[in-house]
Amino acid sequence: MPGCGACASGDATADSQISFSLATAGGKKGLIHMNIMQQDILQQLEQLQQDAQTALILATTTESVRDWYSEYLSRKGRLTAILRNLGNLSAEERPLIGKVANEVKSALEQALQERQAAIAQAELDAIRSAESVDITLPGRPQNLGKLHITTRALRDIYAIFTAMGFQIYDSPEVETDEYNFQLLNMPEGHPARDMWDTFYTTTPGLLLRTHTSPGQIHAMREYAPEPIRVILPGKCYRYEAVDASHESMFYQVEGLAVGKHITFSDLKGVLINFANQMYGEGRKARFRKSYFPFTEPSVEMDIDCVLCGGKGCPVCKYTGWLEMLGAGMVNPHVLQNGGYDPAEFSGFAFGLGPDRIALQKYGIDDIRYFFTNDARLLDRV
Ligand code: DAH
């Protein structure tokens, strides 16, 4: 604060302490010239300054500083009230008092600013320390995700068959009636169609595939007359009454090998090898005669129950055996539909359910768990 006209020193210090003394204020200009009114106002200003300074020291929050401002410096505040009295002074008397008043005002304003800055900083520090992270605390362990059980089963299946020289072949989930049924030896009205409860679309002849077998035709038509070894994994859809072992969407993995001199022994060798790798060495397997329109002869393959070792339990329904897949030698008509001459070529095919394999392998008793999104299921693996 520059030296004020009314005081000898005008010695506001760096921290904005305001000080002027009535005596020195009078001293410079001569107390003799001050009338009672002037002295009174100067006294009021000095009182105001002292009060304001003390009050400001006590104001430690933004709100209390706001209150302080309205009490001392606002238009309704004490300083304005004092200055109103300047009007009662004569034109000669006014400048001296006015000057002092202005200096009081600007010094208080500066003090206010500094106080506000200090409070803002203190509030920020408080927030920082309240919200700060204690880096010495041990971290919370993250839950690692896991692959879905069916995905794991599928990947195991891929690994086993690709090691035996099978390629993985993708084919459509929305199929034509022709591919899903007709080319697989089931013309319209064929009673075997009843084995597959089908979702039809509103487009005539278009349906959701009920099995992966139509993929056999796609693969053969792409590769004929070259020999093929493919597996065809994917989703299938059936209009099922959903229960513990049936879902309206499920996975299948189809297998197909076509070439010259392929025999039923090849089929058995490949599938027994698969069972041993999938469920562990030393599995017992049995083949039962069966019927599928697209294979001749047709079989179903069972393995001894992985849970009870063949003794009988709820999972194998006390038979000691688990049904694993359907298979057979590719029907000559189907070979022909795929573009192969059945006189020269033969082949085997099979269809297995990875969901069912996963249920068996991990002893899960209800396929619906696979789709209810309860992550605890994954801990079973
Ligand atoms: N597609 C048959 C089904 O969904 C499973 C099947 C059986 C596939 C025998 C085959 C096979 O390739 O040879 O029930």
Sign of CA dihedral 329, 335, 340, 341: positive
User: For residue 34, what pLDDT is reported?
Assistant: 67
The closest residue, in CA terms, to atom 6 on ligand 1 is: 351
pLDDT digits 0-9 by tens, 103-122: 999 999 999 999 999 998 98
What is the pLDDT, as a whole number, of residue 85? 80
With the most atoms of ligand 1 within 8 angstroms of its CB, the residue from 294, 323, 330, 348 to mutate is 294
Residue 23 has a pLDDT of: 42
Distance 254 CA to ligand 1 centre (A): 7
Measure 255 CA to ligand 1 centroid, in angstroms: 9
**Which residue would you say has higher pLDDT here, 119 or 270?**
270
| Closest to 351 (Cα-Cα) out of 333, 329, 325, 377 | 325
Query: How much distance in Å is there from the Cα of 290 to the middle of ligand 1?
Result: 11
Residue among 350, 355, 356, 357 to mutate when testing ligand 1 (max atoms within 8 A of CB): 350
> Coil, strand or helix: which one is 146?
coil
Q: Which of these ranges, 249-263, 334-348, 361-375, has the smallest mean pLDDT?
A: 361-375
Query: Atom 2 (ligand 1): residue with closest C-alpha?
Result: 351
Proportion of the chain above pLDDT 70, given as a percent: 91
Nearest to 107 by CA among 117, 115, 96, 119: 115
pLDDT in tens, 294-341: 999 999 999 998 878 889 887 788 999 988 999 999 999 999 999 999
3-state SS of the chain: helix, strand, coil percent to 5?
45, 20, 35
Q: Is 273 a residue whose pLDDT tops 90? A: yes
219 pLDDT exceeds 50? yes
Please tell me the pTM assigned to this model: 0.66
Neighbouring C-alpha atoms within 13 Å toward the C-beta of 333: 12
**Structure tokens that stand for 228 in this block:** 């093929």
Distance CA 7, CA 12 (A): 11
Point out which residues pair with 112 in neighbouring strands: none
Give me ligand 1 centre to Cα 287, in Å: 14
CB-defined site of ligand 1, < 6 Å: 211, 213, 254, 292, 295, 326-328, 349-351
248, 237 Cβ separation under 8 angstroms: yes
Residue of 211, 271, 300 to test ligand 1 pocket, by largest number of atoms within 8 Å of CB: 211
pLDDT at 173 over 70: yes
Whether residue 319 contacts residue 312, with contact meaning beta carbons closer than 8 Å, is answered with yes
Atom in ligand 1 nearest the alpha carbon of residue 216: 12
Provide CB contacts within 8 A for 107, sequence distance 6+. Answer: 1, 12, 16, 18, 49
Q: How many A from CA of 196 to the centre of ligand 1?
A: 11
Question: What's the CA gap between 348 and 295, in Å, rounded?
Answer: 8
Amino acid at residue number 343: A
Contact 285, 302 (CB under 8 A): yes
CB 299 within 8 A of CB 290: yes
Of the two residues 376 and 200, the one the predictor is more confident about is: 200
pLDDT over 90 percentage in the chain: 58
Residue nearest to atom 7 of ligand 1 (CA): 326
Measured in Å, residue 328 CA sits from the centre of ligand 1 at: 8
Question: Rounded to whole angstroms, how far apart are CA atoms 376 and 368?
Answer: 14
Residue that is written with structure tokens 């210090």 in the block: 13
Closest CA to ligand 1's atom 8: 351
Ligand 1: distance of its center to the CA of 378 in Å?
29
Nearest-angstrom CA–CA distance, 192 and 49: 105
Q: Which tokens belong to 220?
A: 């053969």
pLDDT at 94: 81
Atom of ligand 1 nearest to the CA of 213: 1
Q: How confident is the model at residue 290, as a pLDDT?
A: 97
